[in-house]
Amino acid sequence: MFQGETAITVDDKGRLAVPTAYRDLVARECGNRLVITYNPFEAGSLYLYPEQIWQRVRDEVSKLPSTQRAHRNLQLKLIGAASPVELDGNGRISIPASHRSAVGIEKKAVLLGMGDKFELWSEQAHHAQIRQTIGDEDLSAHMLELRL
């Protein structure tokens, strides 16, 4: 559903404009509603889920036994930090200050369409991630089978 990389500016109130290429899709498929939460696997980024997909993810993560520390940490980062947002009349969403601060998002960010969700990265973390993965030779057997 979502794909591509877009440089984003976050205003002084913590709002970002959803790229126009995605606005109709977000309105039609998501009812203008997204859920923002932490990316539990990589520092420096947030996940933005369409509400319906978020509900499925939330339910799956909730089923994990919280008595196991790894499960509890995942539940805290995904469910405990989840914040619903809605596009305003100008196609903007507000990113909670706590989320921006935790992942280092200031004025410049990068929005990545990742299929069923968006990832919002601080510009610095995104550049570091790209530099780290360029030339990475740690390819799995599954990756070698892809026809890129």
Query: 2-137, which class in CATH?
Result: alpha beta
Domain map (residue ranges) of the chain: 2-137
pLDDT in tens, 76-96: 999 999 999 999 999 999 999
pLDDT at 127: 87
Question: Residue 19 — φ and ψ, nearest 5°?
Answer: -55, 140
**How far is it, in rounded angstroms, from Cα 79 to Cα 37?**
7
Residues of the chain by 3-state class (helix, strand, coil), percent to 5: 40, 30, 30
pLDDT in tens, 9-43: 999 999 999 999 999 999 988 899 999 999 999 88
Give the rounded percent of residues in the chain with a pLDDT score beyond 70.
90
